[in-house]
Amino acid sequence: MIYELRIYHSMPGRLPALLARFQNHTLRIWEKHGIRQAGFWTTLIGESNQRLTYMLAWDSMAERQERWNAFLADPEWIAISTETEKDGQLVQNISSELLAPTAFSSVK
């Protein structure tokens, strides 16, 4: 199992719109493509309270490549992405790390 840690740094004041896009659209489209989330978090105390952090679970790098590319090319996603950014960009930047569990991790 591979986990992907993604951190979205939202544009100032745009975190509520980003959260709404995930809740109302993105998760449904991910489900269609078999993308599995392991959790979502916002920052209470830390560097910035304008961040959304989440993790995805993948069986392999090949699965990630196939499913993520299909999601990004999905016409519904492209339309939703365009529509939800009509009042301005939601995300300033994204960081992504692919993680492998250790032998002693409670998550496998």
pLDDT, one tens digit per residue, over 56-105 is: 999 999 999 999 999 999 999 999 999 999 999 999 999 999 999 999 98
At which residue do the structure tokens 């993680």 appear?
99
Mean pLDDT of the chain: 96
pLDDT recorded at residue 78: 98
Residue with tokens 């990630």: 64
| Rg from Cα positions in the chain | 15
Q: How far apart are the C-alpha atoms of 107 and 101, rounded to whole Å?
A: 7
Answer yes or no: is pLDDT of 108 > 80.
no
Contacts of 108 (CB under 8 A, 6+ apart): 1, 101
Q: Rounded CA gap, 58 and 6, in Å? A: 13
What's the predicted TM-score (pTM) here?
0.92
E-assigned strand segments in 1-108: 2-10, 36-42, 51-58, 91-99
**Ramachandran area for residue 105 (φ above 0: left; ψ -120 to 50: alpha; else beta):** beta
